[in-house]
Amino acid sequence: MKTDTNSTIESFKKYVVPNYIRNAVVLTRGKGMYLWDSEGKRYLDLFSGWAVSNLGHCHPRVTSAISRQAKTLVHAPNIFYTEPQGALAKLISDSSFGGMCFFCNSGAEANEAAIKLARIHYSPQERYKIITMHNSFHGRTMAALAATAQPKYHKGFSPMLEGFTFVPFDDLDAVKEAVDDKTCAVMLEPIQGEGGINIASQEYLKGLRRLCDEHRLLLILDEVQCGMGRTGKYFAYQHYGITPDIMTLAKSLGNGTAIGAMTARAELAKSLVPGSHATTFGGNPLACAAGVAVFDTIRIEGLLENCSEMGAYSMERLNSLAERFGDLVKEVRGVGLMIGVELKKEGMTVVKRCMEKGLLLNCTQEKVLRFMPPLNVRKKHIDEGIAILEGVLKEYQQE
Ligand SMILES: *Cc1c(COP(=O)(O)O)cnc(C)c1O
């Protein structure tokens, strides 16, 4: 290894909190579908860093929007108006359900805002409980963490914030049973990401919408991972013919620039009166300019169509792998380019070996390989990735 690679890793070991398991790779550069490390090795990125780099790395339109904005105005306090924030709010509203936006800096913060909005809205009735789903993931801050129904993430952080009730995902009756007179909202990912690419059924989401209407509950959809075109529509809920009351976004909203957003129906949004909620950096011109460029790129480059086409192509290729490696692969499931390949054995070995061979994928819930390439991926990249994956599966099968 080169000395600068070593010295970077050494400085992390000394000076950076060790809360991540990191690969011994220093990434230095990205362009399109590819990343390069400090040794000059190239990686095909078919994971997009948890569906953040949805337009690939350093997309020229986003890069030039950021650099233009960086020369104009980087920060302005939220006691003033700024053009990029207004423009991005309109784009989110027009492409979803006509709501109003609150901007923040991450997915967890977007969910914190959603939880606070639901609570403040129903505070006159003292309704505060929120029903969330097993295997959900809503972030690591304390309220988002309390909403996340995976005990492994709670360990060591008790006491948890009160008021969350957990039920199995895709089980409408379980939600019905959990509702009581203190419930104010139901919160879920239409497609669970960390949970293993679990796709809500049509009946379930439609049933949840009806149930929420009957009991005047707010339906909060966390589209931090599945939103922004990942499934071939702007938002995953648009596959279901329903609309949420509140939706949260982050990950790819700025294609890598730190930004989160909560959007809520206008009547609801008004419950967040001045003084009730705020964040210093939320909606800053730099991040919002990146967000505007992301929306422009999706539209101009026809990326929803490309996502659907490349999603279908990927499913076809992965399903044919699944057939050939029937003793290894349990199931392939996905919508658009949000695809999980569930294995019968642990998947970290596959991810590690793919990385050695220059392909970035991910594994969640021990056995589910996540395949989430940028939305502007081409067949040749998918073919290149599948060829590497196939080689790795061949080896793994013989063990
Ligand atoms: C990643 C993620 C979050 C948390 O986002 P951060 O930006 O890491 O705080 C919340 N919800 C979902 C569905 C996610 O995938």
What structural domains and CATH numbers belong to the chain? 5-59+302-397 (3.90.1150.10), 73-300 (3.40.640.10)
pTM: 0.98
Summarised one tens digit per residue, pLDDT across range 251-267 is 999 999 999 999 999 99
Q: Which residues contact 397 (CB under 8 A, 6 or more apart)?
A: 325, 327, 328
**pLDDT class for 65, splitting at 50, 70, 90?**
very high
What proportion of the chain, given as a percentage, has pLDDT over 70? 99
- Please, are residues 137 and 150 in contact by the beta-carbon 8 Å criterion? yes
Query: Chain-wide mean pLDDT for the chain?
Result: 97
3-state helix vs strand vs coil in the chain, percent to 5? 40, 20, 40
* Whether the CB of 139 sits within 6 Å of ligand 1: yes
What mean pLDDT do residues 52-79 have? 98
| Model confidence at 2: pLDDT above 90 | no
**pLDDT class for 181, splitting at 50, 70, 90?**
very high
Summarised one tens digit per residue, pLDDT across range 86-119 is 999 999 999 999 999 999 999 999 999 999 999 9
Pocket test for ligand 1, best of 169, 224, 226 (most atoms within 8 A of CB): 224
From 187, 174, 173, select the one nearest 136 (Cα to Cα). Answer: 187
Report the distance separating Cα 253 and Cα 92, nearest Å: 10
Summarised one tens digit per residue, pLDDT across range 41-54 is 999 999 999 999 99
Which atom in ligand 1 lies closest to the alpha carbon of residue 108?
A: 9
Query: How far is the centre of ligand 1, averaged over its atoms, from the C-alpha of 39 (Å)?
Result: 31
Report the distance separating Cα 370 and Cα 185, nearest Å: 29
Summarised one tens digit per residue, pLDDT across range 327-367 is 999 999 999 999 999 999 999 999 999 999 999 999 999 99
| Model confidence at 243: pLDDT above 90 | yes
Query: How far is the centre of ligand 1, averaged over its atoms, from the C-alpha of 394 (Å)?
Result: 33
| Model confidence at 1: pLDDT above 70 | no
